[in-house]
Structure 1
Amino acid sequence: MASWNSVPLEITYQVLGWLAFISWSISFYPQVILNFRRKSVIGLNFDFVLLNLTKHSSYLIYNATLYFSSAVQKQYLEKYGLGENADDTGAANDVAFSIHAILLTAITLFQVVIYERGSQKVSRISIGIVAAVWLGAAVCFFVALPTHSWLWLISIFNSIQVFMTAIKYIPQAIFNFTRKSTVGFSIGNILLDFSGGVANYAQMGVQSIDQGSWVNFYGNMGKTLLSLISIFFDLLFMGQHFVLYPAKGATISSKISKEESAEPLVKSSDDPVSENL
């Protein structure tokens, strides 16, 4: 990255970067806390959790390999040279974020096993997608093994996390629409994810203003579009939660109870705020 022309803009850039990192990091906790309080995971789509775990697992493989492997770093520098991309050979905070994300997502998955879940289960479609993804990754490993094409291999895992990010929200969005309710799905998670996404875009905008170039946006159109997809689904979930299916106390809880035999929701219907943390 070129040197900064404005110190205030550089400081703003750093602040926005930390805001995005913190927002994304703590966005995993509201759902875990909500599940714990309700002793139920009814309302949380299990496909979303499974796809999310696959996403962060593949991203950890990418980040950790790029950060710790000298062989991969050498291949990276041979391909991209010592220009502005040379600093992109992994970062400790990226590895730490991925580990943290996997841990919290795994805890959520464990809650799915031990808490009341009604008739909900993981769909065969999601199981098939995850199985196909990891089988494909295994095949790619054996393809890369003879020639030691490790940079190409980790790019596959990066592509997997991009693909999972693009599709992971769909099951939860459809599930909310089918139930006509967001009870059991934490809006706190979405608000924090949205805040992180907006801060990230603002950070890119600040840098573009300082450098007099919008290459940050159109230079990596895939990343830009992927971020837009995440923000789109965040807005969709907020619309479902606050506009389409707002919590109405016992009325909504009773409907969910009849549809899903979700007795824990009836017991906690007096506290609609805590159910939608």
Structure 2
Amino acid sequence: MASWNSIPLEISYEIAGWIAFASWSISFYLQVILNFRRKCVVGLSFDFVVLNLTKHSSYMIYNVCLYFSPFIQKQYFDTYGDKEMIPVAANDVAFSIHAVVMTALLLFQIFIYERGAQKVSRIAAGIVVVVWTFAAICFFIALPTQSWLWLISILNSIQVFMTCVKYIPQAKLNFTRKSTDGWSIENTLLDFTGGVTNYLQMVIQSIDQNSWVNFYGNIGKTLLSLISIFFDITFMCQHYVLYPEKKASKALETDKESNEPLIDSSYEHI
């Protein structure tokens, strides 16, 4: 297994990784807190949450297996060479486990809070069923030859696919409602920060090793960052550029109501 050639780059790698972990992890709490304060999940796409749970679950399995299993690590080195480093860091494992827990909490909030007429679409439910059925089939294919690296690579590809599709329902919901009310923009900003620093982490490792193998050796992590950044920019455009008026008008109405006198002025002279 390869080691770091530069201590400053190694430190930078760790710092970038934990910044990504902190940004992504905190972003979950902001949506949970927003739902709790509103006692309502209207404006949050249920399809997004359901697809996101599948995405993070498959990503967690990939990270945990590759980080902790010596057998799978050996298969990785046999495939990509002994001089390469494992493309999964401790922060990747910590984040993915935390993400599964927090996404499950969001799903719980959907069940207990006001949700209006929103519901999980048949398309989203169908995608989840098909994905996990496919994963189960791959497991039984890998079992006889113990091709576990291949199996977790499939799971990694699944999480990339889920990352591609999970944001679409939320972007569509914002477009349909012409509003981002109910969707935490702070969540988006932190997610954007996590995506950038996560990608930076891989760049730092590649510079140190003078090799770009980790980009295609862990294509899931690479695409995860790029896709997240793309959709985060989309959400920021929706919030700050396309639909700011509705949010502003709601705030104005709230301020107007709060500034109304408790006693109508018509009663002052009675």
Q: Which TM-score applies when normalising by structure 2?
A: 0.82
Cα separation, partners in 2 of 1:176 and 1:152, compared to 1, 3 Å: same
Structure 2 counterparts to residues 40-59 of structure 1, below 5 A: 40-59=40-59
* Corresponding position of 2:143: 145
Aligned-pair identity in percent equals 65
1:202 CA displacement: 3.8
* Corresponding position of 2:107: 109
Which AA in structure 2 matches 1:245? Y
1:60 CA displacement: 1.3
Cα separation, partners in 2 of 1:38 and 1:105, compared to 1, 3 Å: same
Residue segments in structure 2 that go unaligned for 5+ positions in a row: 259-270
Q: Equivalents in 1 of 2:216, 2:151: separation in Å?
A: 23
* Corresponding position of 2:61: 61
Cα separation, partners in 2 of 1:268 and 1:130, compared to 1, 3 Å: farther
Contact preservation (8 Å) 2:35, 2:109: yes
Q: Which TM-score applies when normalising by structure 1?
A: 0.80
Contact preservation (8 Å) 1:204, 1:216: no
Structure 2 counterparts to residues 205-216 of structure 1, below 5 A: 205=203, 215=212
* Corresponding position of 2:130: 132
Q: Equivalents in 1 of 2:34, 2:72: separation in Å?
A: 41
Contact preservation (8 Å) 1:190, 1:237: yes
Deviations 1:186-245 (A, max 9, x none): 11110001011222344455566677x683797669554542221111011011111111
Q: Equivalents in 1 of 2:256, 2:22: separation in Å?
A: 31
Cα separation, partners in 2 of 1:148 and 1:10, compared to 1, 3 Å: closer
2:121 is aligned with 1:118: no
1:54 CA displacement: 0.2
Cα separation, partners in 2 of 1:45 and 1:196, compared to 1, 3 Å: same
Structure 2 counterparts to residues 111-260 of structure 1, below 5 A: 111-205=109-203, 215=212, 222-223=219-220, 224-246=222-244, 248=246, 251-252=249-250
Structure 1 residue matching 2:244: 3-state secondary structure: coil
Q: Equivalents in 2 of 1:75, 1:269: separation in Å?
A: 65
Rg larger in 1 or in 2?
2
Deviations 1:27-68 (A, max 9, x none): 111100000000000000000000100001111111222233
Residue segments in structure 1 that go unaligned for 5+ positions in a row: 255-265, 272-277
Contact preservation (8 Å) 2:198, 2:225: no
35-44 vs 240-249, which deviates more? 240-249
* Corresponding position of 1:275: none
* Corresponding position of 2:30: 30
Structure 2 residue matching 1:169: 3-state secondary structure: helix
Contact preservation (8 Å) 2:160, 2:223: no
Q: Equivalents in 2 of 1:149, 1:11: separation in Å?
A: 34
1:22 CA displacement: 1.2
1:114 CA displacement: 0.4
* Corresponding position of 1:100: 98
* RMSD, matched Cα: 3.1
96-105 vs 215-224, which deviates more? 215-224
Structure 2 residue matching 1:105: 3-state secondary structure: helix
Contact preservation (8 Å) 1:187, 1:238: yes
Contact preservation (8 Å) 1:48, 1:168: yes
Deviations 1:51-88 (A, max 9, x none): 10000111111122223334323333333342123x34
Q: Equivalents in 1 of 2:64, 2:214: separation in Å?
A: 26
142-151 vs 107-116, which deviates more? 142-151
